[in-house]
Amino acid sequence: MKFHNRQIFFLVLIALVLSSLFFSQFSVTLNSHLLDKADTAWMIVASALVLLMTPGLAFFLWGDGK
């Protein structure tokens, strides 16, 4: 039962995210003065660091499953 509730939660979350993408009233324009190569590179590096941090944080907080 607990797994079923979690599955419904994630389906609703995905539906909200997709609906916000498709029905957004804000239009994004990709102007060259708004996008900087250094900002883009930093976002890629920061995202990679977060992806590396997540499993380590899980092992630190919840142990290794023993």
For 66, half-sphere exposure in the C-beta direction (CA atoms, 13 angstrom radius) is 4
| Confidence (pTM) | 0.43
pLDDT digits (tens, 9 = 90+) for 2-40: 667 778 888 898 888 888 777 766 555 555 566 778 888
Runs of H (alpha helix) within the chain: 2-22, 37-62
Dihedral-angle region of residue 65 (phi above 0 means left; psi in -120 to 50 means alpha; beta otherwise)? left
At residue 65 the predicted structure's pLDDT band, cuts being 50, 70 and 90, is low
Which two three-digit tokens encode residue 11? Answer: 């389906």
Sign of CA dihedral 35, 36, 37, 40: negative
